[in-house]
Homo-oligomer: A and B are copies of this chain.
């Protein structure tokens, strides 16, 4: 294992959560992710109201489900620590990974429309999750306009993200897709004050392939190629971005190869 595995590991022990493994008393005000998952516009009293409806259950083990497709929709979820993948299965049985969710990110909003989850979500590693009952969130939003706005924005962001992914899938080569995913994860790590250059991918090659519309083999080959090109350091799931500029160039198709 390489040197940067240690910082990556701390992901699942945020300051708040690590004070005690069974500390379910963590609240939004002392959560270091609150600038990411919460509206900045809320004052302390409002955050406390929100806090009161949020449920924090025991950590999920790797592989456990947060919710399953077609189950009744009750809540949306925020990742506090760890990571989660969302995926859906179509009528004819094909599985599609629709998103990877890292700490501070919110998932489950696709269930609102039909009051049934349109996808399943499972932990890719041991994870702590905040459950936000949607009925109550709606009520609270009626009294806190900025909260309503924040949720409209969150959902809108999810739409934009999906549309960017759409473009990626329909227009870009395997190299570009993988490069874009790595840059996305890098940026999201950076937002959480983690290293943008060195990190551990929580998902398998298979998941990456499924998400990006590629086979495992292709994903693996791309990683190898990037490594050979001196753009990436790859040690199984440990990734280090050696040449960000080159990676960006690949991502938007302007490399001179």
Q: Which residues of A contact B (CB under 8 A)?
A: 88, 90-92, 94, 96, 98, 109-114, 118-119, 138-139, 141-142, 145, 148-149, 151-160, 162-167, 169-171, 210, 212-213, 252-254
Q: Is the CB of A92 within 8 A of B252?
A: yes
Q: What separation, in Å, do the CA atoms of A111 and B119 have in the docked complex?
A: 24
Residues of the B chain whose Cβ atoms lie less than 8 Å from the Cβ of A110: 156, 159-160, 163
In the assembled complex, which residues on chain B have CB atoms less than 8 Å from the CB atom of A94? 167, 171
Given contacts A92-B253, A96-B167, A163-B119, contact A138 B142 (CB under 8 A): no
Cα–Cα distance between A171 and B118 once the two chains are bound (Å): 18
> With the chains together, A113 CA to B155 CA distance in Å?
8
Residue in B112, B165, B167 whose beta carbon sits within 8 Å of that of A88 in the complex: B167
Q: How far is the CA of A164 from the CA of B162 in the complex (A)?
A: 10
Q: For the complex formed, measure the closest distance between the CB of A52 and the CB atoms of chain B, giving whole angstroms.
A: 20
Determine whether the beta carbon of A170 is less than 8 Å from that of B92.
no
Whether B166 contacts A112 by the Cβ 8 Å rule is no
- Note all chain B residues with C-beta closer than 8 A to A157: 113-114
A163 partner, pick from B92, B155, B162, B212, beta carbons under 8 A: B162
Residues on B with beta carbons closer than 8 Å to the beta carbon of A112: 152-153, 155-156
A114: B residues at CB distance < 8 A: 157, 160
Q: What B residues does A156 contact at CB under 8 A? A: 109-113, 155
Known contacts A88-B163, A113-B157, A166-B166, then 9 further A-B pairs from the complex at CB < 8 Å, ordered by chain A residue = A91-B252, A94-B171, A96-B163, A96-B170, A112-B152, A118-B159, A118-B163, A142-B145, A151-B152
Bound-complex Cα distance A170 to B156 (A): 22
